Amino acid sequence: MVQRNGLRQRARALSDEEFARIPWMQRLSPSEQDKARAGMMVTLAQPGDFICRIGRPVTYWFGLMEGLLKMSNDDSQGPIMTFAGLAPGGWFGEGTALKREIYRYNVQALRKSWVAGLPVETFHWLLDHSIGFNRFVMWQLNERLGQFIAAREIDRITDPDVRVARSLANLFHPGLFPRVGGMLRITQQELAYLVGLSRQRVNQALAVLDEAGLIEVAYGGLKVLDLAQLRSFAGHRLGDDIGLPR
């Protein structure tokens, strides 16, 4: 994938519909909402575009309105690792925005994606003035920590079916990615990029999960039929491998 220029040049103000879909806006007072909207922009990222890059200073706190993104360390000097897939409704980069640091990860579009940005100065203004916003950011940091711990566990798992199951369960997290609902727009190749497997092996794993009644492979994406069972599938399989009781 290659970098294309023009993310900022393609940016525009949010429509009323887009603004209404932002999950944390309902936690703000009307005056706080006006402050947030005044500086927010949305832009179209094409496949391969970088929203965040290692070593770049933070300027926005980002949210994915539509599409699919990958958070990774592909350009770092250490071992290559995908930290998370980012699905619609998710906001990311709050840790970097809080500390006003440079990015230590890349966020790249896997498909055409609409990405919203809240200026980092407005982000800090809301932290100083809004209890509701503070609570959301605290909750988000806690959930993100759990997501990264899960990503580290996934990276060490050798069972491909478990890797795919855990990655899908993360993408269907109803709090972090509230706009996914029951259907995630994703191809098998895109899922392969996120999981670190071949498309053919991802196809086999999806067949196993489909046969177990946990997912349904639909046109243009995937449906999760039982999220709780999908999450527990990995634990059962790992328990079988090392002889633990279910």
pLDDT in tens, the chain (246 residues): 344 457 888 899 999 999 999 999 999 999 999 999 999 999 999 999 999 999 999 999 999 999 999 998 876 555 667 788 999 999 999 999 999 999 999 999 999 999 999 999 999 999 999 999 999 999 999 888 877 776 666 666 678 898 899 889 989 998 899 999 888 999 999 999 998 899 999 999 999 999 999 999 988 899 999 999 998 886 655 444 433 333
The confidence score (pLDDT) of residue 78 equals 58
CA dist 39 and 48 (Å) reads 26
Cα separation, 33 vs 38, whole angstroms: 9
Q: Can you tell me the distance from the alpha carbon of 201 to that of 209, in angstroms, rounded to the nearest whole number?
A: 13
According to CATH, the topology of domain 16-153 is: Jelly Rolls (2.60.120)
Assigned token pair, 54: 């290692």
Q: 198 — phi, psi (to 5°)?
A: -75, 155
Q: 158-242: which CATH architecture?
A: Orthogonal Bundle (1.10)
pLDDT score recorded for residue 79: 62
- Please tell me the predicted confidence (pLDDT) of residue 243: 38
- Say yes or no: do domains 16-153 and 158-242 share a fold: no
Beta bridge partners of 118: 61
**How high is the pLDDT of residue 82?**
78
- Cβ-based neighbour number of residue 128 at 10 Å: 8
Residue-range domain boundaries for the chain = 16-153, 158-242
| Residue 175 per-residue DSSP state | T
pLDDT at residue 244, rounded to an integer: 33
Instruction: Give Cβ neighbours of residue 165 (< 8 Å, ≥ 6 apart).
Output: 205, 209, 214, 230, 233, 234, 237
In angstroms, how far apart are the furthest CA atoms of the chain? 57
User: Strand runs (DSSP E) across the chain, as ranges?
Assistant: 41-45, 50-52, 60-66, 69-72, 82-86, 91-92, 106-109, 113-119, 183-185, 215-218, 221-224
Sign of the alpha-carbon torsion through 98, 100, 102, 106: positive
Q: What is the Cα–Cα distance from 214 to 228, expressed in whole angstroms?
A: 9
